[in-house]
Structure 1
Amino acid sequence: MTYKTLFLDIDGTILRPDHTYASSTKEAIEQVQEQGMLVFICTGRPLHEVKELGEELGVEGYIGYNGAYAIYEDNILVDEPINQNTFEQFLAVAKKNNHEIVCYTSDKNYFTSLMNPVMKNFSEVFQLKNNRILTQDVHSHILSLSLINVPPEQAKEYEAVNNDFYLSEVIVNGISNCYDVIRKRVNKGEAVKKVLQHIGVEPEQAIAFGDGMNDKEMLQVVGEGFAMGNSNPDLFSYAKHRTTSVDDSGIYNGLKKLNLVE
């Protein structure tokens, strides 16, 4: 099989808990690019916060906001804001239960609170810099959102808002009771399919690496889906392969399994 495209999640896949990446990760990316493969970052993070990392790694394209926005060669391939009415229903549930929300647009991060210690910690862990307080004028521009400080027994209230959404727990050191809100029709997998269609690559010629439940659709739509060794255990059933952890050169070792790196 000739592989043509590689999709990489960031947190827990490219980046280790200390926000660094292994030299083997960069080496692996360079080696597959020398073979003509296109490399895409595919993350839940907002893209305006990951461009520096992408430039360091020399990636060719980006999928962000858990699949709500994708760009390649200055062409916007996906741009799917959340329905404003639905977003405001999530906001009402959060307000009722004293939860917090971080919302992401194409150029900023909007917080329901900037002073709450839980929110400050979230911002530090995910290195969010372009932060503002949430205002109503951006309600129609929200591409994705994270629910903060939500006890597991209260998470179902959000799932009851709309059947087109599900919650994906964020499992990162220093973060607890936090969920990404994922749309069943707008997610990493759907974005990957649109990117592949645009560049004329068959799904069997694509590879993806991830570690969270927000990666499950992505791992299912490509020919070679790898779950990192540090993945949410529920993810393994959605992946064709299991590689080593992010602390143990998981991307490099997975690509080596396919004889793509030396």
Structure 2
Amino acid sequence: MKYKVVILDIDGTILPHGKTLSHATKDAIQRLKEKQMKVVIATGRAPYFTESIIQDTGVDSMVFFNGAFAFHEGKEIYKSSMEKHVLEKVHQLSNDFQHPLTFLGDTSFKVTHLDHPFVVEAYQYDPWKPELAPPQFWKNQDIYQIFLHCDLEEESSYQTKVPELDFRRWSSGARTCDVNLSNSNKAVGITKLLEKLGIAPDEAVAFGDGINDLEMLSLVGMGVAMGNARDELKAVANMVTLSAEEDGVRYGLERLGLI
């Protein structure tokens, strides 16, 4: 198979957690471009959490919010926000359970309880810091993603009562999870982008490490799980590479003969 595009997750894939983009990974991306290979970023992050990565990589086609927002050559081609009645249900439940929420719009994010320990923990290593959400924030903005800050065992109540949404924990020990539309995931945004590029899914390679990468790796012709990936992801991958800390993206691209 002659692959035409490489799709890269950020955290835990091209970016080791808590670290910066390595020279080896930057070089691998540059070598792909020199070979006229299209490179796409597909992340759970919001656009405003991704600016430095975009600058470092020079990538101009991106999928954000786990598939709810897609850009091609810097121009928006797809977006899917949460309906207000669904947001109302989550907001009410979070009030009942006293769990903080972070609401993520297209240009800004706000949190309902700034000083809650789960919120402090969620943002402790990030350069961006949340601001307090005005009471009407989620009503006045298009919301594409939510962070629910709660313990793992408390998450199921939300999933049962709000089936329109999908709840995925950041990691096994995290006290925060991504909340997205249940009919939206990275594969949805990537499909929109591939259609724009005129590239079939089986002509794509994708690298990922998290549960939010399951649909993406299942969609493409060559799904590559990082060495640090969850076992559930490795089970659906076509190949497992080294960890992000070991420059697994470069190693995987070399194994595939793409660089």
What is the TM-score normalised by the length of structure 2?
0.93
After TM superposition, the structure 1 stretch with the greater mean CA deviation from structure 2, 156-165 or 88-97, is 156-165
After TM superposition, the structure 1 stretch with the greater mean CA deviation from structure 2, 26-35 or 150-159, is 150-159
Count of residues paired in the alignment: 258
Q: Return the alpha-carbon distance in structure 1 between the equivalents of residues 145 and 250 of structure 2.
A: 30
Change over 3 Å in CA distance of 1:116–1:237 after alignment to 2: same
Residue in 2 that maps onto 1:248: 246
CA drift of 1:132 comes to: 4.4
Residue in 2 that maps onto 1:47: 47
Residue in 2 that maps onto 1:9: 9
The C-alpha deviation readout for 1:188-215, integer Å capped at 9, x for no partner, is 0111111000110111111111111111
Residue in 1 that maps onto 2:186: 188
Residue in 2 that maps onto 1:215: 213
Is the 1:211–1:227 contact (alpha carbons within 8 Å) kept by the matching residues of 2? Answer: yes
Q: Return the alpha-carbon distance in structure 2 between the equivalents of residues 6 and 131 of structure 1.
A: 35
Q: Return the alpha-carbon distance in structure 2 between the equivalents of residues 217 and 21 of structure 1.
A: 25
CA drift of 1:239 comes to: 1.4
RMSD: 1.7
Q: Return the alpha-carbon distance in structure 2 between the equivalents of residues 105 and 49 of structure 1.
A: 12
Is the 1:100–1:113 contact (alpha carbons within 8 Å) kept by the matching residues of 2? Answer: yes
Change over 3 Å in CA distance of 1:102–1:26 after alignment to 2: same
Residue in 1 that maps onto 2:227: 229
Is the 1:230–1:246 contact (alpha carbons within 8 Å) kept by the matching residues of 2? Answer: yes
The C-alpha deviation readout for 1:144-183, integer Å capped at 9, x for no partner, is 11111x22221111111233432211028xx622211133
Residue in 1 that maps onto 2:21: 21
Change over 3 Å in CA distance of 1:71–1:132 after alignment to 2: farther
Q: Return the alpha-carbon distance in structure 2 between the equivalents of residues 79 and 248 of structure 1.
A: 34
Is the 1:109–1:132 contact (alpha carbons within 8 Å) kept by the matching residues of 2? Answer: no
**1:56 matches 2:74:** no
Residue in 2 that maps onto 1:89: 89
Q: Return the alpha-carbon distance in structure 2 between the equivalents of residues 231 and 40 of structure 1.
A: 20
Gaps (5+ residues) in structure 1? none
1:95-134 alignment to 2 at 5 Å? 95-129=95-129, 131-134=131-134
Q: Return the alpha-carbon distance in structure 2 between the equivalents of residues 234 and 207 of structure 1.
A: 19
Q: Return the alpha-carbon distance in structure 1 between the equivalents of residues 186 and 164 of structure 2.
A: 15
Residue in 2 that maps onto 1:165: 165
CA drift of 1:129 comes to: 4.2
Is the 1:86–1:161 contact (alpha carbons within 8 Å) kept by the matching residues of 2? Answer: no
Residue in 2 that maps onto 1:75: 75
CA drift of 1:134 comes to: 4.4
Is the 1:108–1:131 contact (alpha carbons within 8 Å) kept by the matching residues of 2? Answer: no
What is the TM-score normalised by the length of structure 1?
0.92
Change over 3 Å in CA distance of 1:224–1:92 after alignment to 2: same
Residue in 2 that maps onto 1:146: 147
Q: Return the alpha-carbon distance in structure 2 between the equivalents of residues 134 and 240 of structure 1.
A: 45
Residue in 2 that maps onto 1:260: 258
After TM superposition, the structure 1 stretch with the greater mean CA deviation from structure 2, 51-60 or 212-221, is 51-60
